[in-house]
Structure 1
């Protein structure tokens, strides 16, 4: 059974179809591993084991992922009848809310939902250390962060509790935990996955649902399951040429790829392990026949980007806090939420509606300037997944907000621009530092081109197979 737990979701589903294991046995093995490991890692904050086992017999026999265990991030990914806290002490339980559209599709595909994973309060930082539920630890070294905001999901998958877990990404929250936990983290194109029925968009379109997985084929197949628009969605993503799972193993052709080992803005300190990771990945891509050259979009160096991006995020956090107050019938006081979010809410209250719209319009122009680089003939951009080296728990302090925001800004320097542009990007576990901690590299494609990302990611995975020792 341990061997089955080390397989990816596609392998587990095949084992169930072949009769090598029953869906119940597979779920029970995953439950046992969660119970054995989570006391140290603190990845799973809500368990629904008995309900999950009771639901197995209702799964259609032909469901493609029948019996495969999965965990849901406790931010977005609402499930009817289950607690929902978004990492906050300000309870946001919505037992009477319907399943999110993505959860509906996961259950239709046969996944067995075992529980919900830890996340920082409101998903507004890059490490999972919420006051409400405590810190999630990295399976590679428990003294280190598993990243955020999908840190609980990433730690659970890296530790082998489940083969994949849901995630979301508003400024790097899929790619950063994937980098720190040695996983594949694909942020899809804006609106590839509906946020309904609860929302039309998240963080002005910056936030996208997705997954953290151990293989490229799982990321592709899982995204296929949940992709699609619903009536009432504000907009949709460009149609893909076919299922992403069908792109795995397909020849990407000879591509023109730019790469950066230093941030063009000039204010992001360089880390040797990040430079080494990108340099080695560039050499590997070149050895596979691609045209690889230094350089990237000029707009990426715009010093005004963090100000406008940060203002929009702060305004959205303030709106979320206001909604929580309405749901419970009294306003949320700033001392009820963590200092980081209280500072964002206070900042947002000093902004006008016109200020918010002007910031969004600035992002519109930034998006066009960024897109010009791909339109000029580039296929992919290669950059670090994380702007800083792997960091220990406590590195983002709660008692020094200036230091916390500064370090967070450096960490998301290579990820947040592509939330603003809505482009798809994937973090791949191609490197380790001297201490053996994972260091991911990120590939970014033009808007709507997840198909190209999957082809190249699978090509790299075959050339340099990903290792997952923490799952063993």
Structure 2
């Protein structure tokens, strides 16, 4: 299987799938190789919660290698609020047991219909409420670029295994930056789609008042586009829907892209941006100008103090509500000592929030969405950092019980003040890995587009990927044989 190993070292999912279609090897051989690679590197990364060969083999039964551009390629399901039949869904918490999902949710159903083989689940922080993947249940997921650093959150496990070349892409979700932050930490492409574009049913109507959406992290832009071709589209009964989508995102990638007007901002109010991050943003701006686009300094119309107060109100209230839901399922209130201190603080601080307070926060977010839509009439794309500094070290966000909601909020905002706005407004936004600092750590940049205009972002990312290729940047901790 050495030839498969060599392919997995440098190829994206579409290239691997093409080898399958040409019968260079079988889907079963590819799966066995992926599992071998996962077993090699996961003891160092702690990125995979469950590696389930039996479930994966079931996905191979009656597989149609013509079902999609990625058919037959193994991947992983993020272990957070996502049902994948036969896998445990722990949501990163000790408050849940080891219940096995009896069905696939709508998103995973579409992946499997597209021939993607689900080989297990990846590590995520408890309830997805952190920009680092560390929990008392599953431990810390580490960056393959430097094991002392976090792989980001909340899709940290997914990002670590893709960067380490276990698989070329992995399912991820994003409620406040949880695709883009770990993609930045691990040197990957990560797109958060527009609100309403992706299915999240059948049991859930929205996550965090419409902030949350599933998609993926990937080595290449075209894999991300191919995954949209497989999974995008409103599902039955969804409360939101995005504008009409193209017949194929992959087919749109290499079509001519008009000259873009790109707005640039590199700092947010009182939260400082590091020099390495400023270098990354300026490098990205220069790349865009070299491609023929106009870049103009701007400042987006956001009152960040009000915004972050409303964001944490919505996130923490939803966390408290979910903990109450666990208690209802279990027939008794959840023992809060089972929760990680961060979430215990959220629950205790927000459990008595009034309906009026909550609705006011949601209303403010809707107002912001309208404001940003008007503002985006002047810009095709907004460029900013993804994070305000390099990836944090393991343990920096291990808040103890003495930390207040305000302490936790300030720490999160100082690290990642840029990503959450796109969740609130519903705009698509992506992390693009163009820059590594002198310590060898990836420093991503974020591009946000107009609502429903994923194609513009993908085409720009494709241009940048061709101008400054990143797929051959392989971290020192990897699954290479």
Q: TM-score, normalised by structure 2?
A: 0.95
| Whole-angstrom distance in 2 between the partners of 1:33 and 1:110 | 21
2:28 is matched with 24
**Worse-superposed segment, 340-349 or 242-251:** 242-251
Counterpart of 2:320 (choices 315, 318, 321) is 318
Instruction: Answer yes or no: is the 8 Å Cα contact 1:191–1:237 preserved in 2.
Output: yes
Aligned with residue 107 of structure 2, among 84, 89, 102: 102
The one-character-per-residue Cα deviations of 1:146-180 (angstroms, maximum 9, x if unpaired) are 00000000001001111111000001000000000
Match of 2:112, SS state, is helix
> Residue 358 of structure 1 is aligned with which of 357, 360, 368?
360
CA shift in 2, pair 1:197/1:328, >3 Å: same
1:234 aligns with 2:239: yes
- Give, in whole Å, the separation in 1 of the partners of 2:299 and 2:227: 30
Q: Take 1:410 and 1:371, find their aligned partners in 2: how far apart are those partners?
A: 26
- 1:86 touches 1:92 (CA, 8 Å); kept in 2? no
Correspondence for 2:294: 291
Tell me how far 1:11 sits from its aligned partner.
0.8
Q: 2: CA distance between counterparts of 1:22 and 1:287? A: 43
What aligned pairs does 1:163-242 form with structure 2 within 5 A after superposition?
Answer: 163-242=168-247
For the pair 1:447 / 2:473, whether they are aligned, the reply is no
Distance (Å, rounded) in 2 between the aligned partners of 1:92 and 1:355:
33
Query: Alpha-carbon deviations, 1:21-48, whole Å to 9, x = none?
Result: 1111111110000011101111111111
Is residue 2:245 matched to residue 1:246? no
Determine if contact 1:296/1:381 at 8 Å carries over to the other structure.
Answer: no
Cα deviation for residue 51 of structure 1 reads: 2.9
State the 4+ residue runs in structure 1 displaced beyond 6 angstroms: none
Q: Deviations over 1:345-387 (max 9, x none)?
A: 1121231011100111111111112222112x21000001112
* Structure 2: distance between partners of 1:356 and 1:298: 22
Deviation per CA, 1:117-171, whole angstroms, max 9, x where unpaired? Answer: 0000000000001100111110011111000000000001001111111000001
The whole-number CA distance in structure 2 between the counterparts of 1:231 and 1:208 is: 16
TM-superposed deviation, 1:20: 1.1
2:420 alignment partner in structure 1? 416
| In 2, Cα distance between equivalents of 1:94 and 1:209 | 22
For 1:458 and 1:176, the matched residues in 2 are separated by 20
What pairs with 1:59-78 in structure 2 (closer than 5 Å)? Answer: 59-64=63-68, 65-78=70-83
TM-superposed CA distance for 1:230, in Å, is 2.1
Which string of whole-angstrom CA distances, capped at 9 and with x for unpartnered residues, describes residues 381-426 of structure 1?
0001112322110111322535543221222310001100010001
- Counterparts of 2:235 and 2:273, CA distance in 1: 43
Picking from 340, 346, 350, the partner of 1:348 is 350
Q: Residue 80 of structure 1 contacts residue 94 of structure 1 at CA under 8 Å; is this kept in 2?
A: no
Aligned to 2:429: 425
2:15 to 11, 16, 36: 11
Q: Distance in 1 between matches of 2:270 and 2:101?
A: 47
C-alpha distance after superposition, 1:207-254 (max 9, x if no partner): 110100000000111122111112211121111233211122222110
The SS at the match of 2:446 is: strand
- Give 1:25-104 correspondences, 5 Å limit: 25-64=29-68, 65-91=70-96, 93-95=98-100, 97-104=102-109
Separation in structure 2 between the aligned mates of residue 92 and residue 317 of structure 1, nearest angstrom: 18
Per-residue deviation, residues 263-297 of structure 1 (Å, max 9, x unmatched)? 2xx21112001100000100110111111111132
Secondary structure at the aligned position of 1:257 is classed as strand
Distance in 2 between residues matched to 1:302 and 1:60, nearest whole Å: 49
Q: Distance in 1 between matches of 2:259 and 2:209?
A: 35
1:378 paired residue number: 379
Work out whether 1:304 is the aligned partner of 2:306: yes
Report how far residue 92 of structure 1 moved. Answer: 5.3
Preserved contact between residue 316 and residue 350 of structure 2 (Cα < 8 Å) = yes
Q: CA deviation at 1:57?
A: 3.3
Rounded Cα–Cα distance in structure 1 between residues aligned with 2:101 and 2:266: 48
Aligned to 1:435: 439
Deviation of 1:112 after TM superposition, in Å, equals 1.0
Whole-angstrom CA distance in 2 between matches of 1:371 and 1:54: 45
- Residue number in structure 2 paired with 1:388: 389
Unmatched runs of 5 consecutive residues or more in structure 2: none
Cα distance in 1, alignment partners of residues 429 and 84 from structure 2: 27
Tell me how large the CA RMSD over aligned residues is. Answer: 1.4
Task: Confirm or deny: 8 A CA contact 1:81 1:94 kept in the other structure.
Answer: no
- Alpha carbons of 1:53 and 1:96: their partners in 2 closer, same or farther (altered >3 Å)? closer
State whether residues 195 and 213 of structure 2, in contact with CA within 8 Å, keep that contact through their aligned partners in structure 1.
yes
Where structure 1 has 5 or more consecutive residues not aligned to the other structure, the ranges are none
Inter-CA distance 59–282: structure 2 relative to 1 (3 Å threshold): same
Matched residues, number: 468
CA distance, structure 1, for counterparts of residue 256 and residue 411 of structure 2: 39
SS in structure 1 of the partner of residue 171 of structure 2: strand
Larger displacement relative to structure 2 (364-373 or 312-321) = 364-373
Q: What's the offset of the Cα at 1:93?
A: 4.6
